[in-house]
Chains A and B, each alone.
Chain A
Amino acid sequence: MDANVSMLAKPAVTSWRPGLAPLGWATAAALLALLPTLVDSPAHLNLLILMLMAAQLGVAWNILGGYAGQVSFGHAAFFGIGAYASTLLGLQFGVNAWLGAALGALAAAGLSVAIGWPCFRLKGHYFAMATIAVAEIAQVLFTNWDCAGAAVGLTIPMQQQGLRVLVFASKAPYYYLALGLLLLSLAAAWAIERSRLGYYFRAIKDEPDAARSLGVSLTRYKLVALAISSALAALGGSLYAQKELYIDPGSVLHTGLSIKMALVAILGGVGTLFGPVLGAVALTGIEEGTRAAFGGSGRGTDLIVYGAIIVAIAVFQPNGVVGWWRGWRARRAARSGSPS
């Protein structure tokens, strides 16, 4: 028992060699900040933005699915609530986009807790299926809800632009918004990892019985993870709405989106800080790449390639990119004969 407890106390973060760290981070930060000026093609910049947005959603999902181990395939519900909340508040009541997004996040967190509370007594696959059911019900409700545009969807007009309404003609502002949101989400994940909260999450994931016997309220902390995760997903939804300027139930509430969020985290490395980021870069790259290369033929070749790549990665590298990275470093350390 004691061994388990002490094992849980260690944060699950890779430790970088102290010497290079600040320089590495500074370079990365500068590069990220200057990227829009370095990339001349808007389509490439768009690709980067899609990667950032996918990464942010993966990080959000990871808080519940990776850290706390509660696998959800219904996160599109929160994404959609965020998108619809900020859009409706802006269109109907003229609420500024920042406030609308914040309110959307709050709404998502609140609803998630209300729905999560009965669902958390379910285990494993049953829980995952319940999350799918919740998101699908949400999609049906929004499809038939006239005040929210029903199946016709909602369009954000382009006439008004600027920071207040978060509508821009060029891509660069969206890049910074996406980057900012991703950094915010990563900061939240990092803070959780190093805090007592993260310790409880890991307990719930790895040793729920031990945790319960130590007096940790499993349900309460699962709900906390869910609330944070759903709030961040909702913010991602609001950003999507502001970027695409058109939302409908099929685009922001469908289960394929939920699966994508999970896939990004899985591909990169579940339960790690940067896993979802790497997974997003890889998955988005593969998706957009196969479609750009093969999509025009209409023969489904891009789907074949995409599916094959996913299967290959899942089969040969189940621990994701981060798992591969760690394995590589471990093998290199073993070969050189010195501890890493």
Chain B
Amino acid sequence: MRRTLLRGAAALMLSAGLGAAAQAQTAEVKIGVIYPLTGAAASTGAELRQALELAADIVNNGAKGLDMPFAAGGGIPGLKGAKIKLVFADHQGNPQVGATEAERLITQDKVVALVGAYNSNVTATASQVAERYQIPFLNPESSSASLTARGFKWFFRTTPHDDLFVHNAFEFMKELQAKKGIKIAALASFNENTLWGNETTKLQAKLAPEFGYTLAKQLTYPAKSTQLTSEVQTLKAAAPTVVLQSSYLGDAILAMKSYKELGFSPDMILANNAGFTDSEFIRTLGRDAEYVITREVWALDLATRNALIRDVNTLFRSRAKVDFTGNSSRTFTGLMVLADALDRAKSTEPEAIRRALVATNIGAEKLIMPWKGVQFDASGQNTLGRGILVQIVDGKYHTVWPFNMAAQDVVWPMPAWDKRKQLP
């Protein structure tokens, strides 16, 4: 009995000593990241993971010739060079799992902050846990407007939200009408039927009359359909000039294929990011993706105005074998914003980090996003963000709006399927 007691005590002292030594040597700051690593959004989750690892790598190990904060490497200066350690968790697209994982990361892994979660409904529950534990939660990509309407003090969102994005779509159409002297007669919305699509449908219904448009048809459909025939036929019957579509990747691909097979070709497909800007979209559809216009938050051709965008994208490409998309670039930016806050906080105390986040003021030149900067309002929303619109031409995304940032002109109307150039 005594021997085991002595052994136990010795082990305890040894581990304490080792632990202290370990602390002094490799100081690290743990950040919990919750993303869909399995399940329906897994392919997006995998890409976002790459973006996070790139950001952490730049902060920890530096990147030569990069003109952005932390590019010198060596960890976070304000925390005496502590390196970022990302602790990944998979929420599987399930809000309860997201909450469970958030709690595990906070209480077991003792992370100083959380980043996540792509899916808006999971962000809702995971950030709730963070709010209860008073740990900062930084959300780089969920666009549901209600997330910043909850009166939370620990929730910070860098991306603009759906209200702004839907506004963008309508502003674009108004400006396009003026610019090209065309008339957009009837609109139809075609949205998937989970949290994001549902909210977008409501926003579109609200904003259309404000901009003087009529929504001839508001179609909602269950995500993960086996076929979209009835939907496309309904759209054909409504014959809209413009289709406003919100779909995740699988449905976006299926929809485009169905449009082609059933011969449906409106003058414009104005999509709402998500599936349409996923790097798999063009890769899978090839030429069939041409001329789609989608809301985005980032485009590679912005690099012509901003060398930083080009350089960071090159780094990402060498790691992930694909270019940034709006999703991965936002995730990258989110972690950078958090690193900036940690640096200014000079402490890993939650309240210090929170105050640093509140005081965030990052200029446009330090970002790889086409935003005016990062500054959070009282509800935790970044007010300096903005969306852009891109069009797929020759297999690439080209910025077409705002017109003063456009790389090329809008192709209008979308050529009918049988009138397009065939693949050689």
Query: Chain A residues near B195 (CB, 8 Å)?
Result: 151-153, 248
Q: Mark A300-331, 1 if CB is under 8 A from B, else 0.
A: 10110000000000000000000000000000
Query: Chain B: which residue is nearest A254 at the CB level?
Result: B94
Q: Mark A108-148, 1 if CB is under 8 A from B, else 0.
A: 00000000000000000000000000000000100110000
- Whether the pair B38, A300 counts as a contact (CB closer than 8 A) is yes
A245–B131 Cα gap in the complex (Å)? 12
The reply on A180 being an interface residue by CB < 8 A is: no
- Whether the pair A298, B37 counts as a contact (CB closer than 8 A) is yes
- Whether the pair A251, B95 counts as a contact (CB closer than 8 A) is yes
Chain A residue total in the interface (Cβ 8 A): 34
Query: Chain B residues near A246 (CB, 8 Å)?
Result: 95, 121, 124-125, 128
With contact pairs A251-B95, A298-B90 given, residues A151 and B104 touching in the complex (Cβ less than 8 Å): no
Query: Chain A residues near B38 (CB, 8 Å)?
Result: 295, 298, 300, 302-303
Query: Chain B: which residue is nearest A245 at the CB level?
Result: B128
With contact pairs A43-B104, A158-B128, A250-B194 given, residues A296 and B90 touching in the complex (Cβ less than 8 Å): yes
A152–B95 Cα gap in the complex (Å)? 13
Tell me, rounded to whole Å, the shortest Cβ–Cβ distance linking A113 to chain B. 29
- Whether the pair A288, B100 counts as a contact (CB closer than 8 A) is yes
A153–B128 Cα gap in the complex (Å)? 15
The reply on A42 being an interface residue by CB < 8 A is: yes
- Whether the pair A248, B193 counts as a contact (CB closer than 8 A) is no
Query: Chain A residues near B103 (CB, 8 Å)?
Result: 42-43, 46
The reply on B29 being an interface residue by CB < 8 A is: no
Query: Chain B residues near A43 (CB, 8 Å)?
Result: 103-104, 106-108
Query: Chain B: which residue is nearest A168 at the CB level?
Result: B132
The reply on A292 being an interface residue by CB < 8 A is: yes
Query: Chain A residues near B49 (CB, 8 Å)?
Result: 298
The reply on A336 being an interface residue by CB < 8 A is: no
Tell me, rounded to whole Å, the shortest Cβ–Cβ distance linking A302 to chain B. 7
Tell me, rounded to whole Å, the shortest Cβ–Cβ distance linking A161 to chain B. 10
- Whether the pair A152, B107 counts as a contact (CB closer than 8 A) is no
The reply on A172 being an interface residue by CB < 8 A is: no
A155–B127 Cα gap in the complex (Å)? 13
Chain B residue total in the interface (Cβ 8 A): 42
State the majority secondary structure of interface residues on A.
helix
The reply on B99 being an interface residue by CB < 8 A is: yes
- Whether the pair A144, B37 counts as a contact (CB closer than 8 A) is no
A245–B125 Cα gap in the complex (Å)? 8
With contact pairs A152-B146, A155-B124, A169-B132 given, residues A296 and B193 touching in the complex (Cβ less than 8 Å): no
The reply on B89 being an interface residue by CB < 8 A is: yes
- Whether the pair A153, B88 counts as a contact (CB closer than 8 A) is no
Query: Chain A: which residue is nearest B37 at the CB level?
Result: A298
The reply on B11 being an interface residue by CB < 8 A is: no
The reply on A50 being an interface residue by CB < 8 A is: yes
A321–B144 Cα gap in the complex (Å)? 44
With contact pairs A140-B222, A295-B38, A295-B90 given, residues A248 and B150 touching in the complex (Cβ less than 8 Å): no
Q: Mark B88-119, 1 if CB is under 8 A from A, else 0.
A: 11101011110111011011100000000000
A233–B108 Cα gap in the complex (Å)? 31
A303–B90 Cα gap in the complex (Å)? 11
Query: Chain B: which residue is nearest A240 at the CB level?
Result: B96
Interface residues of A in 134-186 (CB under 8 A from B): 140, 143-144, 150-153, 155, 157-159, 169
The reply on A41 being an interface residue by CB < 8 A is: yes
Which interface residue of B95, B131, B220 has the most chain A CB atoms within 10 A? Answer: B95
- Whether the pair A292, B37 counts as a contact (CB closer than 8 A) is no
- Whether the pair A302, B90 counts as a contact (CB closer than 8 A) is yes
Q: Mark B194-206, 1 if CB is under 8 A from A, else 0.
A: 1101110000000
Query: Chain A residues near B95 (CB, 8 Å)?
Result: 244, 246, 248, 250-251
With contact pairs A153-B195, A248-B195, A298-B45 given, residues A41 and B222 touching in the complex (Cβ less than 8 Å): no
- Whether the pair A143, B193 counts as a contact (CB closer than 8 A) is yes
- Whether the pair B121, A46 counts as a contact (CB closer than 8 A) is no
Query: Chain A: which residue is nearest B202 at the CB level?
Result: A152
CB contact between A296 and one of B46, B88, B107, B150 (< 8 Å): that residue: B88
Query: Chain B residues near A240 (CB, 8 Å)?
Result: 96
- Whether the pair A251, B121 counts as a contact (CB closer than 8 A) is yes
- Whether the pair B45, A292 counts as a contact (CB closer than 8 A) is no
- Whether the pair A296, B96 counts as a contact (CB closer than 8 A) is no
A150–B151 Cα gap in the complex (Å)? 22
A157–B132 Cα gap in the complex (Å)? 12
Interface residues of B in 133-151 (CB under 8 A from A): 133, 144, 146, 150-151
A144–B221 Cα gap in the complex (Å)? 10
CB contact between A295 and one of B89, B144, B220, B222 (< 8 Å): that residue: B89
- Whether the pair B107, A150 counts as a contact (CB closer than 8 A) is no
Tell me, rounded to whole Å, the shortest Cβ–Cβ distance linking B139 to chain A. 15
B residues touching A (Cβ–Cβ < 8 Å)?
Answer: 37-38, 42, 45-46, 49, 87-90, 92, 94-97, 99-101, 103-104, 106-108, 121, 124-125, 128, 131-133, 144, 146, 150-151, 193-195, 197-199, 220, 222
Please list 21 pairs of residues, one from A and one from B, whose beta carbons are closer than 8 Å in the complex, sorted by A's number: A43-B103, A43-B107, A152-B198, A153-B121, A153-B124, A153-B195, A155-B124, A157-B150, A240-B96, A244-B96, A244-B128, A248-B95, A288-B100, A291-B92, A291-B101, A295-B92, A295-B101, A297-B88, A298-B37, A298-B49, A300-B38
Besides A150-B198, A302-B38, 17 more A-B contacts (Cβ < 8 Å) are A41-B107, A43-B106, A43-B107, A46-B100, A46-B103, A46-B104, A50-B100, A144-B193, A151-B197, A153-B121, A155-B150, A159-B151, A244-B99, A250-B194, A292-B104, A296-B90, A298-B37
